[in-house]
Each structure stands twice: as structure tokens, then as C-alpha cells.
Chain A
């Protein structure tokens, strides 16, 4: 009976102040959505780093007037370098083939470029991609070398942008969370005020503190949980529409977000939503109800 009483009090409480309840749930949902989004992005960036850095290459382009001797010397030097895991030599024909593949959507460009205009190169896979700098210093003045390009430089820029988006989402999440928690505090104050007579009688006859507080705290928790379900719906909609819309341009760059990833975020969002609401509610009651 006590459980039934508490639950019915929770529903009545949420319904009594329904506009405030909706505002509370929406802000909470947006906040949790941003939090979940930031979490997903964090996870994805981690995956991508693993994936890309493993395959990242340093290209050493050779000068057009490179001699046979210079090329073999460099080849031998690279093969004996402890920093280098693998060396692949790409001659002019292969470079042209790669170029054709890469720009197959732009036939004009492909036609304008002849095979012997493209430089030969060595493609290196490093034992540790972060040691690019020492490779660069070591070979940049070697004769016959034109230019050294590190793909990880490019990736760092991409990851920089992604981390920026993630930080932005987190900042929004924090601000929305502050708004949501203030709404929780306000809702609970209103609820406590509208039930002040009952609370006074309960205190007088010796109802336990948890029994007096539970309906209010649970009200906040239920709102938090509904908010997290809503945030999950936002995410699902984001995947459903974003997958076929503007975000599909990023496909191939960002590893795809699976339904599993999204549902894995739910327990985190629900937990954060419920816990923060409960703590806020409880603290509000400490000040407002003085039980």
C-alpha cells in the first residue's frame, strides 16, 4: 500500500503542474541528447584514431630528376631504418593509376595530367606514427627527395574539428543541464508548497523522512527518465534521417554509428538523468521542507 501511495502521489504531482513538468522534461531531454551525442562522438573518435593511425603513411616524394643511384641508396636506408615498419615504392605508372582512381569523378583533371608528371615516391608505414618528425628531419635533406608528406597531420586537423564539435556539445549539455536542474528545483518547491498541509500533518504524526520525501524525489527521477527516453528518440531520429541526409557526406570519413552504439548510450543518459534529478530534488527538499 505504501508503494502504491507513493506512486500515485508521483503521478498526481507530475500532472498537477503539467506545463512545468513538460518544460523540465524537454530541457532534460535536450541536455541528455547533447551529452549522449558527445559520448558517441568521443567513442567514434577513439575508434577512428585506432583505425586511421594504424594505416597512416608518410610519403616521400622524389624529385623529377632523381638518379637511379640516389633512389637505391634511399631505398636501402629506409629498409634498414628501425623507425620504419614497411616501405613501398610507387613508380610513375602506379602513381598515375592511384591518381586516376582518386579523381575518377573529375575526368578533366585526369586527362590534363600525364603519367610522367607525377612524382615517384616511397610510402612508409611507421612503427609509431607519432615519430613522423624524426623521419622528416632525417630525410628532408637527402639528395633526390622533393617533399615529405605526413597523412597524420591531415588527420590531426580532422580530429581537431571533431573534438571541437564534441566540446561544443558538452558545453550545451552543461548549460541545458543547469536549466533543467533549476526547473527540477522549482517544480519540487511548487509541489512541496501545494502539499504543505499534508507534509505538516505527516511530520506531526511521525511519518519517516524518506516517506515524506520519496514522492517529491521520485517525481524528479521519473521526469529525468522520461527525458532520457526522449533523448534516445532524438538520437534514433538523428540516425534515421541523418544517415540518408546531409550527414551521409561524412560517411566513409566517420565510422558509421550503429543502432547498438545508440542503445548503449541510453543507460548512461538514463542514469545521469535520474541521478542528477534525484540529488537536486533531495537537496531542494533539505532547504525547503526541513524534514
Chain B
């Protein structure tokens, strides 16, 4: 597929074709502005390609009507570099909010949220506010929120970008554990250390083109 943003001199993604199997763990690496984040946005149906198709979970996102997008998003979890937590809600409330706004009852939230907070290693810190948590802990809340609805795919856009190396490793272990439950994980990063340690599939993008696609790769 090809994506050219308006006013851009060259396409952000130029004739890129990539296929990710269910349950895979894939890194997208490359310098800033190489088009990695555009891929995440396309998977989320936030932007559409000018040419080509994007198929997620067997659905053609390219032709999807915008009113179907909310329901489609429920099968995808998202984690970002800046966590995107609600500052006036506790860890528990942040995760429960994600459930309640898609129509789950409070009873469901009471059952599921403590479970997932335990899974991400935040047992006992449910009632802390984001500013009372460390960066790593905040990212764990974000992962819990992304995973609480048991999505088929977890998208992570530079999830360790704001964290120190040790904390980053812990977050990666967490994502690895989530991957082992059968969830596909797609992670955009330029953290070479992590890529090298994980030894998972690596897709390298440069100037909008795929220059490498390696099964058990390292950061070039």
C-alpha cells in the first residue's frame, strides 16, 4: 500500500506490503519519519492509504465505513509512549473506564479489572492516581487498559520511549507474556537494546520502504 500525506513531497509509505500472522510478535523499526507510525494509524483506521488495502482481523479497513470504526477498535488494544491515562482517575478507574464506555457493566469491571491489574503486576496499587505511580507503573496501567477487553491485536507505539532501560525490559516481559496468551503484538520502536534482546521478527522501514524483514532479527 502507499500513503502520501497532503503537502508531503514523498510518500510516507511507498508500496509497502507486509503480512502479520495471528499470534505473532513484530517489531517495526526505523528512524523517525520513516513511516512506522503511519502503519499503526492505518491499522487503527485513523488514516487510509491512497493505494492498496489494509486488512485487519479479516476485515478490509480501507473500505470500512467510519460508523463501524468504534466496534472495530474494540478488537485492538493500544499503548503509547505518553501513556494517555486520565489524571483524575485511579489505576482501577482508568482501566474500568475503558470497559464501561463500551457498555460493560460495573459488575463486569469489578470482576475483570483486578485480574488484569494483577497480571500486569500492579496488585495492591489499584487505587493510586497516575501521578502517584512511576513511569513504568503508569505504562503498566496503560497496558492493562489496552488488554482488559482481550483484544486480538495489541499495538504499541514506542511504549518504552519514556522509560529507563530496566523498566523498559520489564514492560517488554509484560508484552511478551501477553503475546503468549495468543494476542498478536505489533510494536513500533527505535530502542535497539530491546529489539536485540527479544529476538523476534523485525521489519525495518526507511523512507517509506521496507528494507528488511527478518524472522529472528536484531536492530541493524
Q: Which residue of the partner chain, among A2, A197, A203, contacts B103 with CB atoms under 8 Å?
A: A2
Could you tell me the distance between the alpha carbons of A201 and B98 in the complex, rounded to whole angstroms? 7
Could you show 26 A-B contacts with beta carbons less than 8 Å apart?
A1-B100, A1-B106, A2-B100, A2-B103, A197-B84, A197-B86, A197-B87, A198-B97, A200-B84, A201-B84, A201-B86, A204-B84, A205-B74, A206-B69, A206-B70, A206-B72, A206-B73, A206-B74, A206-B76, A206-B102, A207-B70, A207-B101, A207-B102, A208-B103, A211-B101, A212-B101
Q: With A1-B106, A5-B100 given, is the CB distance from A206 to B71 under 8 Å? A: yes
- By a CB distance below 8 angstroms, the chain B residues around A202 are 101
Residue of chain A at shortest CB distance from B107: A1
Find out whether the CB atom of B100 lies under 8 angstroms from the CB atom of A209: no
1/0 contact trace for B54-86 toward A, CB 8 Å? 000000000000010111111010100000101
B219 vs chain A, min Cβ distance (A): 28
Find out whether the CB atom of B102 lies under 8 angstroms from the CB atom of A1: no
Find out whether the CB atom of B106 lies under 8 angstroms from the CB atom of A205: no
Q: Which residue of the partner chain, among B69, B87, B105, contacts A1 with CB atoms under 8 Å?
A: B105
- By a CB distance below 8 angstroms, the chain B residues around A211 are 101, 103
Is B149 at the interface (CB under 8 A from chain A)? yes
A residues with a Cβ closer than 8 A to B are 1-2, 5, 197-198, 200-209, 211-212
Main secondary structure of the interface of A (DSSP, over half): helix
B59 vs chain A, min Cβ distance (A): 14
A198, A200, A207, A211 interface centre (most CB from chain B within 10 Å)? A207
Could you tell me the distance between the alpha carbons of A200 and B97 in the complex, rounded to whole angstroms? 12
- By a CB distance below 8 angstroms, the chain B residues around A204 are 73, 78, 84
- By a CB distance below 8 angstroms, the chain A residues around B87 are 197
- By a CB distance below 8 angstroms, the chain B residues around A206 are 69-74, 76, 102
Could you tell me the distance between the alpha carbons of A200 and B100 in the complex, rounded to whole angstroms? 15
- By a CB distance below 8 angstroms, the chain A residues around B140 are none
Could you tell me the distance between the alpha carbons of A206 and B72 in the complex, rounded to whole angstroms? 7
Is B145 at the interface (CB under 8 A from chain A)? yes
Top 3 nearest A-B pairs (CB, nearest first) are: A206-B73, A207-B101, A206-B74
B143 vs chain A, min Cβ distance (A): 13
B66 vs chain A, min Cβ distance (A): 9
Could you tell me the distance between the alpha carbons of A203 and B87 in the complex, rounded to whole angstroms? 17
Q: Which residue of the partner chain, among A197, A200, A205, A209, contacts B102 with CB atoms under 8 Å?
A: A205
Known: A201-B101, A206-B69, A206-B74. 10 other contacts (CB 8 A): A2-B103, A5-B100, A201-B84, A204-B73, A205-B101, A206-B72, A208-B70, A209-B67, A209-B70, A211-B103
Find out whether the CB atom of A205 lies under 8 angstroms from the CB atom of B73: yes
Find out whether the CB atom of B103 lies under 8 angstroms from the CB atom of A198: no
A13 vs chain B, min Cβ distance (A): 15
A234 vs chain B, min Cβ distance (A): 39
- By a CB distance below 8 angstroms, the chain B residues around A200 are 84
Residue of chain B at shortest CB distance from A197: B86
- By a CB distance below 8 angstroms, the chain A residues around B101 are 201-202, 205, 207, 211-212
Could you tell me the distance between the alpha carbons of A197 and B83 in the complex, rounded to whole angstroms? 12
- By a CB distance below 8 angstroms, the chain A residues around B73 are 203-206
Residue of chain B at shortest CB distance from A205: B98
Could you tell me the distance between the alpha carbons of A2 and B84 in the complex, rounded to whole angstroms? 23
A258 vs chain B, min Cβ distance (A): 48
Residue of chain A at shortest CB distance from B98: A205
- By a CB distance below 8 angstroms, the chain B residues around A201 are 84, 86, 97-98, 101
Could you tell me the distance between the alpha carbons of A203 and B76 in the complex, rounded to whole angstroms? 12
Could you tell me the distance between the alpha carbons of A198 and B86 in the complex, rounded to whole angstroms? 7
Could you tell me the distance between the alpha carbons of A207 and B105 in the complex, rounded to whole angstroms? 14
A229 vs chain B, min Cβ distance (A): 31
- By a CB distance below 8 angstroms, the chain B residues around A205 are 73-74, 98, 101-102, 145, 149
- By a CB distance below 8 angstroms, the chain A residues around B102 are 205-208
